[in-house]
Amino acid sequence: MAPAPTPAPSPAGTRSGHWSTSAVVYQVYPRSFRDLDGDGMGDLAGITAELGQLAELGVDAVWLSPFYSSPQRDGGYDVSDYCQVDPLFGTLDDFDQLVGRATQLKLRIIIDLVPNHCSSDHSLFQLALAEAPGSPARDMFIFRDGRGEGGALPPNNWQSHFGGPAWTRTADASGAPGQWYLHLFDSTQPDFNWDNPLVHQEFERILRFWLDRGVDGFRVDVAHALVKAPGLPDWGGTAWGGSIDGFPGHEAPMFGQPALHDIYRRWRGILAEYGPEKILCAEANVDPLDRMARWVAPGQMHHAFNFPYLNAPFSALALRSVVDASLAAFGAVGATSTWVLSNHDVVRHATRFAYEGAGPRQGDGIGAGDEQPNVEAGRQRAAAASLFMLGLPGAAYLYQGEELGLPDHTTLPDASRQDPTFARTERARLGRDGCRVPLPWREAGASFGFSDGVPAAGVPWLPQPEAWGRLARDVQSADPDSHLATYRSALGIRRDRGLGTGTLTWVDEHCSDTTVGFLNGSTLVLLNAGPSPIELPTGAILQRSRPRQAASRQLESGETIWLAA
Ligand code: GLC
């Protein structure tokens, strides 16, 4: 039965006119984008060399995951110096060149800011360990005495996102056990104490350091976690803040605390000193959507990744419902939605959609022992889902490689796995390596053109699936019907027809249990998520997710089309 017609929420009051409200941002995961020095690890020079490809693709901005000094225990989200480039990736000069090239190409550069925690190698944490309990150095972090006899039990029951307790006990110089410190992630990622004004000062300094170097904004890592509830009370829900039996509707004491929003209002003020175009993007993975919308309330951030959208299955009803809820929640605070389907923490959507239902949960990978996906079916659905997303009004984030329709590596050898989740859960959760595999640039040659360099080099830090040669960028560049060509063309049409700044109206005759259709201005976007083909309505075909269907007036199962209405 078709759902009852619902008027789409009015976008009235959105901060129209600002570039961010309709931007398409491309996420680069530097370790895996392009390796010019041949050490098997991507680098800044590699990104600079390929920025032209991203400009040609038609994105507005590039978000770089961390490239700062780091022991790389969590792929660089464990920062030991926020104002230095890790030698793995290059130098500050390389960064300046990257920004210079982006400016020539009219691409904006957004960098990742990791304020919840640093690396345990950071000099501030090393100092905290060296100083006594109660010292100002310790107060930069969250140190507590343990519970139970001799303080042998963690100060509370919080669990790490990556498995195991969120507390690690320290030892003093003589080896005697001491206080515990909090780490919501790996034990090498101690949480900062955001009740301490010196932590605020330190991050304001870091913001200015990069703004002075010309960045256009920041993606703020775990932007919902910085401030913890007073007293650090026990929590009965999941490590990532979800409710479980006995804790319905409870808000986790480590997420979404009201004082967070003062921090972002302050940061927004700092950005404003550098001009109105600088932006903040929240990774605030909280439920439900109207709570997430607090991060994009006036005077705070510009974007908040729409995780309920990312988590939605490939289903007409689910998509319609999450789009409605998103437009309502973000519209209520005068913001547009920030759509996203993939990133470096989730199984890529080309692989998720190869399964029925929602697929594996965030942070869990797929391994050789699991049911293997139907790669082609997943890629077709991924193209359909992407074309649907790019037809929506609002901003959108793309994750490197999705324009090639890359699937996850689903048979990575365990010996290659590097995500701390794998070890911390004693291999129960495989972790996120499968979506982080280095990109294929050329069909021929070692590492599919990911690594250049001396002959001995070229072994990528994670192995690539053998089948990736035929998905390489050079193959797809030469094929007008490829995934890459579809993205390029869709981004051009999106720009020309103003889809990002448009308004959505559901078209009831195209909305059913299996199909979902809306008008965005004079563009009809129609997705067939059902098992059988349907007849197309009238209208010139602007773009389809399976361009090989050319002029067919049927919309295949798992296909999206844009028609001129
Ligand atoms: C964010 C990042 C993820 C990282 C975590 C801890 O969720 O996206 O990759 O592991 O924060 O910094």
Q: What is the pLDDT of residues 69-123, one digit of tens each?
A: 999 999 999 999 999 999 999 999 999 999 999 999 999 999 999 999 999 999 9
Whether 452 is catalytic is no
Separation CA 120–CA 118 (nearest Å): 7
Q: Tokens at residue 404, please? A: 């090639």
CB atoms within 10 A of CB 263: 20
Closest listed residue to residue 144, CA positions, set 211, 190, 112, 109: 190
What is the model's pLDDT at position 362?
56
What is the whole-number distance in angstroms between the Cα of residue 493 and the centre of ligand 1? 33
Q: Tokens at residue 238, please? A: 């999941």
Atom in ligand 1 nearest the alpha carbon of residue 74: 10
**Composition of the chain by helix, strand, coil, percent to 5:** 30, 15, 50
Closest listed residue to residue 163, CA positions, set 141, 132, 187: 187
Q: What is the DSSP letter of 140?
A: G
Got the DSSP string for 456-476? Answer: T----SSPPPGGGGGGSHHHH
CB atoms within 10 A of CB 96: 13
What is the whole-number distance in angstroms between the Cα of residue 391 and the centre of ligand 1? 28
CB of 221 closer than 6 A to ligand 1?
yes
pTM listed for this prediction: 0.95
Sequence-distant (6+) residues with CB within 8 A of 201 are none
Separation CA 414–CA 412 (nearest Å): 6
| 3-state SS class at 120 | coil
The residue annotated as part of the active site, out of 74, 86, 94, 221, is 221
Separation CA 337–CA 9 (nearest Å): 12
* Segments of 151-273 assigned E as strands: 167-171, 177-182, 217-220
Q: Report the nearest-CA residue for atom 12 of ligand 1.
A: 77
How many residues does the structure list for the chain?
565
What is the model's pLDDT at position 424?
86
Separation CA 78–CA 75 (nearest Å): 7
Q: Report the nearest-CA residue for atom 3 of ligand 1.
A: 345
Closest listed residue to residue 31, CA positions, set 21, 40, 41: 41
Separation CA 529–CA 531 (nearest Å): 7
Cβ-count burial 385-413 (b if 16+ within 10 Å, e if not): bbbbbbbbbbbbbbbbbbbbbbbbbbebe
What is the whole-number distance in angstroms between the Cα of residue 29 and the centre of ligand 1? 12
Q: Report the nearest-CA residue for atom 2 of ligand 1.
A: 221
Whether 37 is catalytic is no
CB of 114 closer than 6 A to ligand 1?
yes
232, amino acid identity: L
Q: Tokens at residue 28, please? A: 């680069």
Q: List Cβ<8 Å contacts ≥24 apart for 121-129.
A: 121/70, 121/71, 121/78, 121/80, 121/188, 122/79, 122/80, 122/81, 123/80, 123/81, 124/202, 125/190, 128/181, 128/190, 129/170
Residues 236/250, Cβ–Cβ less than 8 Å: yes
> pLDDT tens digit string along 512-544?
999 999 999 999 999 999 999 999 999 999 999
What is the model's pLDDT at position 12?
38
Separation CA 90–CA 46 (nearest Å): 10
Separation CA 75–CA 420 (nearest Å): 9
Q: Tokens at residue 74, please? A: 């969590």
Separation CA 213–CA 294 (nearest Å): 29
What is the whole-number distance in angstroms between the Cα of residue 220 and the centre of ligand 1? 10
CB of 433 closer than 6 A to ligand 1?
no
DSSP H or E stretch at residue 122: none
Q: How far is CA 32 from CA 406, 413, 430, 460, in A?
A: 13, 18, 19, 8
The residue annotated as part of the active site, out of 273, 356, 466, 496, is 273
What is the model's pLDDT at position 551?
83
Q: Longest Cα pair distance anywhere in the chain, in angstroms?
A: 79
Q: Which residues of the chain have pLDDT under 50?
A: 1-13, 246, 248, 455-456
Closest listed residue to residue 396, CA positions, set 256, 517, 490: 490
